Amino acid sequence: MLKLQKNLSGMLLVAVLCFTGILTANAQKRKDVGLQLYSLRELMPKDVKGTLQKVSLAGYTQVELYGFNIKDQFWGLKPVELKKILEENHLKPISGHFNMFPYLKTGDQAELKAAIVAAKILGLKYVTIPWLQPETRTSAADYRTLAKRLNYAGQLCKNAGLKLAYHNHDFEFIKYGDETGMDILLKQTDKKLVDFEMDIYWVIRSGLKPYDLFKANPGRFVMWHIKDMDKSDPKLNAEIGSGTIDYKDIFKHAKLSGMKYFFVEHETNYKPDMIGSITQSFNFIKDQILR
């Protein structure tokens, strides 16, 4: 009888642990959906508070910022003022796209250092480079120079308790000999200092598969931009779930990618309008991908 009781107790303990594990796993299921606020670039400068209220009402809980410069800060708002508005609307800023043109072109660090200060005030996790000027990316040598500057900027970010990330378009996949610009950036940046934000639309538009990049560079793409591709014109965006990109399948590889955060981004072909588009994308993600 004693042995039976011990067995039952052991079975009960295992059941409790398994159930706890299930609860833990469920609790860890992704629930946050992020929005790159550039999607609403016609609305944000006119009414920051009202636009962010609509973002929150649409269901988003995380955002990625854009639009900072030393002179005007964020559309005339100081980082501390913007932070208050975000908090009032229960929006967590994770990353920001910051202008790095002077630094990446000449090494001038003024904008870089200002971005780091703003990011710290806002409580961001990532300072993200959104774009490269054409004159800074004409050759493999240019990309090697860029990699060095990314590493240095990454160290400054690390010193401030932040991470640096790089966001792609399509031009990074142009080949220079046997390797692309993206190959060079991935190989010659320090994994401890530089992360990557994959814009999945641009990868696919370049004729590549996100999975292949995840497999070749596991853990490096910690953030994603997700926007769909219009069925009739691949140069245009579409609301998530209404285009040609199979995001249900791509999200299956989130762990391989290293993805921690993702942001809906919509730049063209809004249906019916900017707020309507981001709302439709949110609803599809919640109902079909994160359920």
Q: Could you report the per-residue pLDDT of 69-114, keeping only the tens digit for each? A: 999 999 999 999 999 999 999 999 999 999 999 999 999 999 999 9
- Residue-level pLDDT at 1: 52
- Residue-level pLDDT at 291: 85
What span, in angstroms and rounded, lies between the C-alpha atoms of 216 and 221?
Answer: 11
Global pTM reads 0.90
| Domain ranges for the chain | 33-289
Q: Is 248 left (phi over 0), alpha (psi -120 to 50) or beta?
A: alpha
Which helix (H) or strand (E) element contains residue 278?
Answer: helix 274-284
Give the helix, strand, coil percentages of the chain, each rounded to 5.
50, 20, 30
For the chain (length 291 residues), average pLDDT per consecutive 10? 48 43 43 97 98 98 97 97 98 97 96 98 98 97 98 98 98 97 98 98 98 98 98 98 98 98 98 97 97 85
List pLDDT tens digits, range 105-134.
Answer: 999 999 999 999 999 999 999 999 999 999
Contact present, 285 and 277 (Cβ < 8 Å): no
Superfamily, domain 33-289: Divalent-metal-dependent TIM barrel enzymes (3.20.20.150)
Best CA proximity match to 172, nearest among 191, 193, 187, 192: 187
What span, in angstroms and rounded, lies between the C-alpha atoms of 162 and 125?
Answer: 5
- Residue-level pLDDT at 31: 87
User: Which residues lie closer than 8 Å to 211 by C-beta, 6 or more apart?
Assistant: 250, 253, 256
What span, in angstroms and rounded, lies between the C-alpha atoms of 36 and 197?
Answer: 12
Cβ atoms < 10 Å from Cβ of 101: 15
Please tell me whether residue 19 adopts helix, strand or coil conformation.
Answer: helix
- Residue-level pLDDT at 29: 57
Which helix (H) or strand (E) element contains residue 240?
Answer: none
